Amino acid sequence: MRLLSSLRSGAAALFRRAQREGDLDEELRAHVQNRADDLERSGLTRAEAERQARIEFGGREKFKEECREERGGFWLETVWKDLRFGARMLLKSPGFATVAILTLALGIGANTAIFSVVNAVLIRPLPYPYANRLTIIWSQWGKETRGPASGPELMELRKRSRSFDDVGGIWATSGTITGTAEPQQVRLAFTTANFLPLLAEKPQLGRFFAPGEDRRGAVPLMILTDGVWRSQFGANPGITGQTVRLNGNEFTIVGVLPRDFKLLFPDGSGVAADVQVFIPFLDDLEKRERDTGFLRMIGRLRRGVTAARAQSEAEGIATQLRGEAKEYADQSLHLTVAPLQADDVRLVQPALLALFAAVGLVLLVTCANVANLLLARSAGRRHEAALRAAMGAERKRIIRQLLTENLLLGCLGGTVAMGIGWAALKWILSLQPEGISRLIEVKLDGWVLAFTLGVSILTGILFGLAPALSVARRDLVGVLKESGKAMATGKQWLRQLLIVSEVALGCILLVGTGLMIRTFASLLRVDPGFRPENVLTFQLSFPGTRYGTVESVTNFLKELRANLASMPGTQAVGGVSHLPLDEGKGNWYSYYWADGAPAEQQNTVMADHRSTLPGFFRAMGATMLAGREFEETDDAAHAHVTIVDDTVAEQLWPGQDALGRKISVEDSPRGPYQFTRESVVVVGVVRHLQSHTLTSKGRGQIYLPVPLAPRPVYSIVVRTTESVQTFSAYLQQAVKKLDKDMPVANLLPQTDYVEKARAQTRFVTVLAGALGTLALLLACIGIYGVTSYSVAERRREMAIRIAVGADSADVGKMVLRQSGMPVVVGVIAGLGLAAALTPLLSGLLFGVRPSDPLTYLAIAFVLGGVGLAACRIPARQATRVDPMIALRCE
Interacting residues with other proteins (CB under 8 A):
23, 26-28, 30-31, 33-35, 37, 56-60, 62-63, 66-67, 69-72
CB nearer to other proteins: give 36 or 581.
36
Q: Could you tell me the smallest distance in angstroms from the CB atom of residue 31 to other proteins?
A: 5
Residue 216: partners with Cβ closer than 8 Å, 6 or more residues away: 282, 283, 284
CB nearer to other proteins: give 26 or 533.
26
CB nearer to other proteins: give 13 or 706.
13
Q: Could you tell me the smallest distance in angstroms from the CB atom of residue 33 to other proteins?
A: 6
Q: Could you tell me the smallest distance in angstroms from the CB atom of residue 35 to other proteins?
A: 6
User: What is the spatial distance between Cα 699 and Cα 688, in angstroms, rounded to a whole number?
Assistant: 9
CA nearest 78: which of 388, 386, 382, 404?
Answer: 404
User: What is the spatial distance between Cα 793 and Cα 797, in angstroms, rounded to a whole number?
Assistant: 9
CB atoms near residue 124 (< 10 Å): 17
* Angle (deg, nearest 10), helices 853-879 and 492-525: 140
The answer to whether 110 and 424 are in contact (CB under 8 A) is yes
DSSP symbol at 129: T
CB nearer to other proteins: give 30 or 884.
30
Q: Could you tell me the smallest distance in angstroms from the CB atom of residue 70 to other proteins?
A: 4
Q: Could you tell me the smallest distance in angstroms from the CB atom of residue 72 to other proteins?
A: 5
CB nearer to other proteins: give 73 or 467.
73
Pair type for strands 570-576 and 700-705: unpaired
CA nearest 116: which of 424, 373, 339, 481?
Answer: 424
CB nearer to other proteins: give 57 or 493.
57
CA 201, chain centre distance (Å): 28
Q: Could you tell me the smallest distance in angstroms from the CB atom of residue 866 to other proteins?
A: 56
* Angle (deg, nearest 10), helices 750-793 and 795-803: 60
- DSSP letters along 87-104, please? HHHHHH-HHHHHHHHHHH
Q: Could you tell me the smallest distance in angstroms from the CB atom of residue 84 to other proteins?
A: 23
CB nearer to other proteins: give 30 or 729.
30
User: What is the spatial distance between Cα 54 and Cα 545, in angstroms, rounded to a whole number?
Assistant: 107
CB nearer to other proteins: give 19 or 674.
19
Give 388's Cβ-side CA count (13 Å radius): 18
Q: Could you tell me the smallest distance in angstroms from the CB atom of residue 394 to other proteins?
A: 13
Q: Could you tell me the smallest distance in angstroms from the CB atom of residue 1 to other proteins?
A: 16
Pair type for strands 589-594 and 662-667: antiparallel
User: What is the spatial distance between Cα 513 and Cα 858, in angstroms, rounded to a whole number?
Assistant: 12
CB nearer to other proteins: give 58 or 323.
58
- Which residues sit opposite 26 in a β-bridge? none
Q: Where are the beta strands (DSSP E) in 566-648?
A: 570-576, 589-594, 605-612, 624-627, 641-645
Sign of CA pseudo-dihedral 160, 162, 164, 166? positive
CB nearer to other proteins: give 23 or 527.
23
Residues 195, 196, 200: CA angle, nearest 5 degrees: 135
CB nearer to other proteins: give 72 or 129.
72
Type of residue numbered 235: A
Residue 145: partners with Cβ closer than 8 Å, 6 or more residues away: 138, 334, 336
CB nearer to other proteins: give 37 or 595.
37
CA 325, chain centre distance (Å): 43
Q: Could you tell me the smallest distance in angstroms from the CB atom of residue 860 to other proteins?
A: 60
- DSSP letters along 854-884, please? HHHHHHHHHHHHHHHHHHHHHHHHHHT--HH
Q: Could you tell me the smallest distance in angstroms from the CB atom of residue 58 to other proteins?
A: 4
Type of residue numbered 355: L
Q: Could you tell me the smallest distance in angstroms from the CB atom of residue 832 to other proteins?
A: 54
Q: Could you tell me the smallest distance in angstroms from the CB atom of residue 36 to other proteins?
A: 10
User: What is the spatial distance between Cα 692 and Cα 690, in angstroms, rounded to a whole number?
Assistant: 6
Sign of CA pseudo-dihedral 505, 508, 514, 516? negative
CB atoms near residue 239 (< 10 Å): 19
The H or E element containing residue 81 is helix 74-92
CA nearest 716: which of 738, 697, 696, 688?
Answer: 738
Residue 483: partners with Cβ closer than 8 Å, 6 or more residues away: none
CB nearer to other proteins: give 73 or 529.
73
Q: Could you tell me the smallest distance in angstroms from the CB atom of residue 392 to other proteins?
A: 10
Q: For the chain, how far is it from start to end, CA to CA, in angstroms?
A: 59
Residue 565: partners with Cβ closer than 8 Å, 6 or more residues away: 572, 573, 615
CB nearer to other proteins: give 5 or 679.
5
Q: Could you tell me the smallest distance in angstroms from the CB atom of residue 384 to other proteins?
A: 25
User: What is the spatial distance between Cα 140 and Cα 330, in angstroms, rounded to a whole number?
Assistant: 11
CB nearer to other proteins: give 66 or 797.
66
Residue 425: partners with Cβ closer than 8 Å, 6 or more residues away: 112, 113, 116, 117, 442, 444
Q: Could you tell me the smallest distance in angstroms from the CB atom of residue 12 to other proteins?
A: 12
Q: Could you tell me the smallest distance in angstroms from the CB atom of residue 78 to other proteins?
A: 15
Q: Could you tell me the smallest distance in angstroms from the CB atom of residue 402 to other proteins?
A: 24
CA nearest 501: which of 363, 352, 357?
Answer: 363
- Which residues sit opposite 184 in a β-bridge? 177
CB nearer to other proteins: give 49 or 425.
49
CB nearer to other proteins: give 303 or 396.
396
CB nearer to other proteins: give 64 or 377.
64
CB atoms near residue 584 (< 10 Å): 20
